[in-house]
Chain A
Amino acid sequence: MTAEITVTESGEPSAADAQAALRQLGRRNMRRRAYIWLWRAAILAAVLVTWQLTSGHLFPAFIMSSPSQVWDKATNWLGNGYILSNTGVTLEETFIGFLGGTFIGATAGVAIGLSRFASDVLSPFVNALYAVPKIMLGPLFVVWFGIDLTMKGLLAGLFVVFIVFYNIWSGVQEVDKDLVEMFRVMGGSRWAIIRGIYLPSALSWLFNSLRLAFPVALIGATVGEFIASSEGLGYVATNAATQADTAGVFVAVVVVTIVAVTMDQLIVQIQRLVNNRYGRNEGGRLVI
């Protein structure tokens, strides 16, 4: 993607030519971006149109619903506050789990990661717990914590804790040993090494795991609502489904999607700000 530059007799491109070439390059980039957005819009429109046209013909409307029915449902629910109040409930549960789980996971990850002995002892348990579908604990959580907001927050937190813990725990163990050696040569104490190397490194892994943690917290909260609830977006979806109101289910799905994407973009922007502060803009390492 290089623009053509006319070379002057001296063999150097003139300043004006370089400027023009840069402008040309900028225009080409703009055009490319415009095409990308155009294609995205076209694909979305094609999907919606196909959905609308096939609904009631290829498949019965009560199974598939249709974009217009979803739209009607959404405006109706937005108007009477049904969506807003239930979204608020789900968000509250999600954030309880997200923040609590991140805090506990990060703290435990650093603390246990710093001790090689503790890490060696605990690694099979950690790996087993990481592999297990945490969702299996859902029914147990109902017994322990009831069916109110606490249960969903805790379920979301349980999902988050492992993601964050695993990322930070394995990160701490992979800290560059040469950096540690360098600190030792400089006479750095154990505490100086932790503060100077481990904690800053942990912070970057933390940022990387946040993007994974939020959608997981959202899953925890909505699944908790599936299990037992009378409010929240998970409840909206299951409740609509039991009444064969597929349009209602789609509205819940769309709202959850909007919440997830918005939060993801927010985290990405925060990451970008932090990275800019350190003059870099490539992402870090990610352990999933």
Chain B
Amino acid sequence: MTQTAEWQRKKSGGDVAAPEPVLDLRSVSVRYLTGSGLNTACSDVSAKVGSGEFVSIVGRSGCGKSTLLHVAAGLIRPSAGTVTYLGQEWTGLHPDVGYVTQKDTLLPWRNVLDNIALPLQLKGVRKSERRATASDMAASLGLSDYLRHFPHQLSGGMRQRVQLGRTLVMRPKLLLMDEPFGALDAYLRLRMQELLLSILRDYPVSTVFVTHDLGEAITLSDRVIALTGSPGRLALDVTIETSSETDDLMAVRGTAEFSEYQSKLWDTISATDGKK
């Protein structure tokens, strides 16, 4: 399913294409009832995420990409179809799944260290132990100088780093991210993307990344899935292969491969313009 490319190995920390997918969505549809009738968020979407893979879901607003991520997180039960983690069918929340949203959900009354340590605390890890683990995690995210700071004292980018740390500290087998850098300015977003790639090298994990930023999807991912229409349907599932070896994402954006992928995705997404 995935082909090994230089860049890809660097990005996801190796261990590509294990026999069993970490996440397997089969014919997932989500319908819900609103005041104006039955609304279908996504329809018959099938997708697999292999071990160590970084998969982005792109699409325009309302195509159901966030809904799909909610399904993967186990927060929504799909109306039809199945969700399988590591070969086991699953309908609720899974302990090995980490979830990062655009909105920060840090506890305002806890400092950085204790926010990162929170999931360990919920698991019943002893205080000294969880603090040590959390402070290692903070160090690899460049947060060592801010352990005693409270969320409101941090910038948006810093808070997203804390959120990322809090999620990775549980050592999830699957990382779900819902437009995590959507609220950041363009420069900071690029820096956060680079940080994400480097942290995933230290803490390799299969990742599903929802974004509407095509460039972000291409530079970060091993594979990009495009949803179109409303309800969203799978329109494109493309493996990103690149010969570029640089960590400088701005440079990657200048390559011919990048523009090729970008126009391909752009064409797919804008193809539905006539209908709506």
Using CB atoms and an 8 Å cutoff, list the residues of chain A in contact with chain B: 176, 178-179, 181-189, 192, 196-197, 200, 204, 278-280
Contacts and interface: CB of A to CB of B under 8 A. Distances in A.
Nearest to B124: A192
Contacts of B97: 185
A185 B75 contact: yes
B93 A185 contact: yes
B101 A186 contact: no
Contact of B150 (A178, A192, A279): A279
A185 B123 contact: no
Nearest to B149: A279
B236 to A, nearest CB: 29
B73 interface: yes
Interface string B100-123: 010101011101000000110011
Looking at A176, A178, A187, A280, which has the most chain B CB atoms within 10 Å of its CB? Answer: A187
Contacts of A197: 107
A82 B99 CA distance: 66
Contacts of B73: 185
B77 to A, nearest CB: 14
A280 B152 contact: yes
B109 A183 contact: no
Contacts of A188: 122
A153 B105 CA distance: 42
Looking at B75, B93, B103, B109, which has the most chain A CB atoms within 10 Å of its CB? Answer: B109
Given A185-B75, A185-B97, A279-B149, A178 B118 contact: no
Given A187-B93, A279-B150, A280-B150, A182 B105 contact: yes
B208 to A, nearest CB: 14
B109 A200 contact: yes
Contacts of B74: 185
13 contacts: A178-B103, A181-B75, A183-B122, A185-B74, A185-B75, A186-B122, A187-B123, A188-B122, A189-B122, A196-B122, A200-B109, A279-B149, A279-B152
A277 to B, nearest CB: 9
B95 interface: yes
A176 B106 CA distance: 11
Nearest to A197: B107
Contacts of B150: 278-280
Contacts of B99: 182, 185
B153 interface: yes
Contacts of A181: 75, 105
B113 to A, nearest CB: 13
A195 to B, nearest CB: 10
Contact of B107 (A179, A184, A189): A179
A278 B93 contact: no
B116 to A, nearest CB: 12
A192 B73 CA distance: 20
B170 interface: yes
Nearest to B101: A178
B203 to A, nearest CB: 16
A192 B107 CA distance: 13
Contacts of A189: 122
Contacts of A176: 105
Contacts of B103: 178
A183 B101 CA distance: 13
Contacts of A183: 122
Nearest to A186: B119
